[in-house]
Copies of this chain bind each other. A is one copy, B any other.
């Protein structure tokens, strides 16, 4: 594996390898000193053209636990504002000596462009409405942690599927792992075409919930005027929100997930987010370990890797 751009590049074996690595890094994360020297001397840069403190800190924490150095190239303060091209920015960063570039951008496909320009490994940390592969991997890991396997599980993904890179990556990862996925959304929030998506579709959440092992609520991106696609936000919540009443339709061991940040009271009721089988903070914790696995896979066997550790690093 040279880059991590899309979940579609990962077959079942590749995902399982990352799951096994994540098991190890979850163990590392629970140590008194949660740090291993695996990436000592490597530099991981976050190149975020869309700000996301939570994703950036998750990658930075992962990099530090592997003893890598981190650099943060946030676009809001960077040369991009001075009209520099993306390519020149990326080549400048690489010239300073980086091993992994973690890129987030509002345009689909940018991580592929970046990968074509550099020798460094590239991780897609979200490109437009397209893909967010590490989110899908941490979601797989969290479900596997709760239920042992994804094989045969019934997973409902609820909400703004059409604009969601999380949904796009999750569908691929969950079905590769053997789950049955049902999308639940009003027609205006579904993708224009679902051809080739190995999923069922429903617009009746009440009907789907009793038959569901995992319900995955997508964030309603209110900052992007999604309301225009809906009669009203209140009606959305009434029909597609996981309200307290509706949550009673779930089996006792059904798992509730959300990629964060949550709009409590919109896609998920406050009480539901706090129920025992809600694993939303576990997703965050697993995110660090999954990203350790990904960074280790991409940079751990790099030719710059020395034969032995060096306490002076």
Is residue A73 within 8 Å, beta carbon to beta carbon, of the partner chain? yes
Contact A311 B312 (CB under 8 A): yes
- Contact of A32 with B304 at beta-carbon distance under 8 Å, contacts A53-B77, A73-B57, A88-B260 already known: yes
Is residue A195 within 8 Å, beta carbon to beta carbon, of the partner chain? no
Is residue A27 within 8 Å, beta carbon to beta carbon, of the partner chain? no
Interface size (A, Cβ < 8 Å)? 63
**Residue among B77, B95, B310 making CB contact with A282, cutoff 8 Å:** B95
* Segment with Cβ contacts to B, from A79-87, A103-111, A242-250: A79-87
Q: How far is the CA of A311 from the CA of B33 in the complex (A)?
A: 11
* Least CB separation from A220: chain B residue: B83
Is residue A6 within 8 Å, beta carbon to beta carbon, of the partner chain? no
* Least CB separation from A64: chain B residue: B69
Contact B41 A96 (CB under 8 A): no
Q: List residues of chain B with CB within 8 A of the CB of A310.
A: 33
Contact A61 B96 (CB under 8 A): yes
Contact A92 B35 (CB under 8 A): no
Is residue A285 within 8 Å, beta carbon to beta carbon, of the partner chain? yes
**Residue among B96, B284, B311 making CB contact with A95, cutoff 8 Å:** B284
**Residue among B223, B262, B264, B312 making CB contact with A37, cutoff 8 Å:** B312
> Chain A residues in contact with chain B, CB under 8 A?
29, 31-35, 37, 40-41, 43, 51-54, 57-58, 60-61, 64, 69, 71, 73-74, 76-79, 81-85, 88-89, 91-97, 222-223, 260-264, 273, 281-282, 284-285, 287-288, 304-306, 309-313
